[in-house]
Chains A and B, each alone.
Chain A
């Protein structure tokens, strides 16, 4: 996080900008993102319909593909990396993913093992 107060632009250039991003005349990033998202979607669908891999491998692969798609949305569409001041939103989002992972993995772990209390 920045060590300067970023409340007042007139106090100094605390809002860095990326002028390049705003002079593009053709939406290359968006088209790349769209193509990638289609490719990833159909790859996942193909994996499931072809039934070529064992069950666990299929599930792991399609979850990985979904995570890649999430990155496509965040990086190519949502301007996640554009920084105007400290990257608080990135930190918050990362912590959100940590909590989300804890909830999903933790719940599955707890709920699927709770019959096994006695040997």
Chain B
């Protein structure tokens, strides 16, 4: 969809990675980078809110009492590894090897599901202990910040599942390559956001 061109067919430029090969592809990748920059700001507001409210526990459990080190470290490792495998999938895509690409893609999805599953059980445990969203401003900010990230990850999983079907159906083309690349940007970005949740919420919560 290169609306600028008077050409008969959208040209495929072989000198650049496949995802950038069509005009439309490079427009969409730029658009998505810009969206990620906007998402940085969205998360920064949630972080600011959490930082301002983190000590307002109103007699409820504090971060120190609540967080469980093995639990959040495991979540972190799952997400870090999934970011790595997602990178490998794109690496294989650039080498035009469909089978390994799909393999790493599926591993990434499974690791993502593992992460979301652990997060849900973590939330369920807190709620079971009476530490729910209505207990204190600290907990409200915690659930909303971490939950927003979890929602992003969940959407990412559904997105990648949809792309899995398209990869199986069409193979690696300029269009599927662009779509997979954009999804991988999203996935790595969520990993980066999690690192800050790990640091600002969990580690800082344990230290103070």
Binding site for B on A (CB under 8 A): 7-10, 13, 15, 17, 19, 21-22, 24-25, 27, 30, 33-34, 37-38, 41, 44-45, 48-49, 51, 55, 58-59, 62-63, 65-66, 69-70, 73-74, 76-78, 82, 84-85, 88-89, 92-93, 95-97, 99-101, 103-104, 107-108, 111-112
Query: Min CB distance, B180 to chain A, in Å?
Result: 13
**Do B91 and A82 have beta carbons less than 8 Å apart?**
no
Distance between Cα atoms of A49 and B72 in the complex (Å): 14
Query: Min CB distance, A106 to chain B, in Å?
Result: 8
11 new A-B contacts, CB < 8 A, other than A15-B26, A37-B84, are A9-B11, A15-B20, A34-B84, A37-B83, A41-B77, A70-B195, A85-B30, A93-B40, A96-B41, A108-B51, A111-B52
**Which B residues lie within 8 Å of A21 (CB)?**
17, 94
Residue B192 CB within 8 A of the other chain: yes
What's the count of A-B pairs with C-beta under 8 Å?
A: 158
- Chain B binding surface SS class: helix
Top 3 closest A-B pairs, CB basis? A100-B44, A96-B37, A89-B33
**Do A103 and B36 have beta carbons less than 8 Å apart?**
no
Query: Min CB distance, A92 to chain B, in Å?
Result: 5
Would you mind naming 16 contact pairs between A and B with Cβ atoms under 8 Å apart?
A8-B4, A17-B17, A24-B91, A37-B83, A38-B80, A41-B73, A45-B73, A51-B207, A66-B200, A73-B188, A73-B195, A77-B86, A77-B87, A78-B189, A89-B34, A112-B52
**Which B residues lie within 8 Å of A101 (CB)?**
44
Distance between Cα atoms of A48 and B72 in the complex (Å): 14
Query: B21-49: which residues lie under 8 A (CB-CB) from chain A?
Result: 23, 26, 29-30, 33-34, 36-38, 40-41, 43-45, 47-49
**Do B185 and A107 have beta carbons less than 8 Å apart?**
no
**Do B33 and A92 have beta carbons less than 8 Å apart?**
yes
**Do A27 and B87 have beta carbons less than 8 Å apart?**
yes
**Which A residues lie within 8 Å of B83 (CB)?**
37, 73, 77
Write the B107-120 contact mask toward A (1 if CB under 8 angstroms, else 0).
Answer: 00000000000000
Nearest residue, chain A, Cβ from B190: A73
**Do B48 and A104 have beta carbons less than 8 Å apart?**
yes
**Which B residues lie within 8 Å of A37 (CB)?**
80, 83-84
Within 8 Å by CB of B23, from A7, A25, A73, A88, lies A7
Within 8 Å by CB of A62, from B29, B30, B81, B203, lies B203
Distance between Cα atoms of A34 and B91 in the complex (Å): 14
Query: Min CB distance, B76 to chain A, in Å?
Result: 6
With A10-B11, A55-B208, A96-B41 known as contacts, the answer to whether A66 contacts B17 (CB < 8 A) is no
**Which A residues lie within 8 Å of B206 (CB)?**
48-49
**Do A22 and B37 have beta carbons less than 8 Å apart?**
no
**Which A residues lie within 8 Å of B51 (CB)?**
104, 107-108
With A44-B203, A104-B44 known as contacts, the answer to whether A10 contacts B7 (CB < 8 A) is yes
